Amino acid sequence: MSTNLQITNINTWGFDFSSPLTISGPCSAESEKQVVETAMALSKPGIDILRAGIWKPRTRPNAFEGVGSKGLKWLQTAKKLTGIPVAVEVANENHVKECLQNNIDFIWIGARTTVNPFAVQEIAEALRGTDIPVFVKNPINPDLELWIGALERLNQVGITKLVAIHRGFSTYEYSEFRNKPNWDIPLELKRTFPKLSIICDPSHICGNRKSIQSISQKAMDLAFDGLMIESHIDPTKALSDSQQQLTPSSLEKLLSNLIYRKTSTDNPELNSQLERLRKVIDSIDADILDNLSERMKIVNEIAHHKKLNNITILQQERWNQIINNALDIGSSKNLSDDSILGLFKIIHRESIRLQNEVMNSNEKELEELLSIKVK
C-alpha cells in the first residue's frame, strides 16, 4: 500500500538541535532528585532532549510501573534548571492530556503501544488540533507496515512533526541483543519516507552497557539522524533497565568517541573514483540478475518434470545440499553464513513460488510446453 507522510523537518521545530540529535535521560523518573541530578549532569555532554518514563509498560505486573503524573513536575523543574526540553512516553489518551497540560515538549510512543492500532488511534485522537512533536518507536515485532501505520494515524490527525525511533525487535530464539536490530527495516522506512528523520535507541537494542558504543556507531554509519540513550545518575540503583543505563559521564565519553561520517563528499577526485567503482557494482548486479533469471528458467523446467511425475516441490535433502554447498563456497570467499543463508532462503522462496505456479497450472498448457521443448 503506497502512502505519503507530511513531515515537518526537525530543524524547523524551533529548537536548537545538534546533528545528530541526542536524547538521553533515565528509563524511569524515580524521584525529583534523581531526575534533576541526571539532567544537570547531562548538561555537560550537551544533549538536545531529556527523556524520562513516567508511566512504564512492564512485561510482568508488580514491577515498578512508574511514578505517574507527579513525575511530570520533576521534569518541568529539570527543564527550568537546565534549559533542556523534555520528552515522555505516552500510551493512552490520559497520558497525552497530562503531558499537554504539563508543558511536556515532546512525546514518544513506546514499542508496546505502536504494536496496537487501537491504542495508537486513541493517542492520535487526543492529539488532534495540537502540533506537539511525536517520536514513534518501532513495534516490538518486526512489522514495518505496523510502524508506518502508526505514523500514518498520527499524520491523519494533523501531526507532521514526526520522528521514528528504531529500538530493535523482539525474538523468541536466543540473540546477543535484547531486541534484534534488523537494520533492513528502519532502512526500508527511510527509503520509503526520505524526509522522515529516524533515530536509533541502542539502549533497548543492546540491553547491556557494553555494546551501546558499537551499535551507536553503526547507527551513525547508516546515516541515522540521532540517538536516544538511557542514562541514570546511579544506574546500578535504577528501578528499571538498570543493566543498560549509562552514567552521564559514560554517555559523554560515548558521544565523544563516536566517529561522525559525512553522507557525501565534494572532493571531485574521490567522487569520480566512487562513480567508477559504482559502475562496476551496477554491472555485477546486472550479471547477478541475469544468472538468477537463468536459474529460474531451469527451475521452471524442473517444475514441469516434477508435475508430470508427481514429485513434491520440496525435497529436503536437495535443499540441505544447496544450502551446505552455498555455505562452503561462501565461507571460502569471505561471505558470512548469515548473509548466504538469507540470500539462499530468498532464492529458494522464489523457486518454490515459481514451481507452485507451474504445478498448479493447466495440464494441457504444460504438455504443450514440454512437447515444444522435446522438439
Residues contributing to the site for ligand PEP (CB under 6 A): 27, 53, 57, 89, 110-112, 137, 167, 204
196: Cβ–Cβ under 8 A, 6 or more apart, which residues?
5, 7, 151, 162, 163, 164, 189, 190
Q: CA 50, 51, 52, 55 torsion: positive or negative?
A: positive
Given its phi and psi angles, is residue 62 left (phi above 0), alpha (psi -120 to 50 degrees) or beta?
left
Contact criterion met (CB below 8 Å) for 3 and 148: yes
Residue 206 as a binder of Mn ion (CB under 5 A): the answer is: no
**167 interacts with, out of Mn ion, ligand PEP, none, CB within 5 to 8 A per kind:** ligand PEP
Task: Report which residue's Cβ sits closest to Mn ion.
Answer: 27
Q: Among residues 241, 254, 255, 330, which is the contact residue for Mn ion, using CB under 5 A?
A: 241
244: Cβ–Cβ under 8 A, 6 or more apart, which residues?
27, 178, 203, 204, 206, 207, 208, 209, 212, 230
End-to-end, the C-alpha distance of the chain in Å comes to: 45
Q: Are strands 226-230 and 86-90 parallel, antiparallel or unpaired?
A: unpaired
Beta bridge partners of 86: 50
- Give the nearer residue to ligand PEP in terms of CB position, either 206 or 340: 206
- Give the nearer residue to ligand PEP in terms of CB position, either 82 or 114: 114
In the complex, what is the shortest distance from the CB of residue 251 to ligand PEP, in angstroms, rounded to a whole number?
15
258 vs 81: CA distance, rounded Å: 28
**137 interacts with, out of Mn ion, ligand PEP, none, CB within 5 to 8 A per kind:** ligand PEP
- Give the nearer residue to ligand PEP in terms of CB position, either 110 or 235: 110
- Give the nearer residue to Mn ion in terms of CB position, either 233 or 340: 233
- Give the nearer residue to ligand PEP in terms of CB position, either 108 or 344: 108
Q: Is 44 helix (H, G, I), strand (E, B) or coil?
A: coil
In the complex, what is the shortest distance from the CB of residue 1 to ligand PEP, in angstroms, rounded to a whole number?
25
**111 interacts with, out of ligand PEP, Mn ion, none, CB within 5 to 8 A per kind:** ligand PEP
In the complex, what is the shortest distance from the CB of residue 216 to ligand PEP, in angstroms, rounded to a whole number?
15
Q: Is 53 helix (H, G, I), strand (E, B) or coil?
A: strand
Given its phi and psi angles, is residue 273 left (phi above 0), alpha (psi -120 to 50 degrees) or beta?
alpha
In the complex, what is the shortest distance from the CB of residue 365 to ligand PEP, in angstroms, rounded to a whole number?
52
- Give the nearer residue to ligand PEP in terms of CB position, either 137 or 304: 137
User: Per-residue x/- mask for Mn ion, residues 10 to 49, rule CB under 5 A?
Assistant: -----------------x----------------------
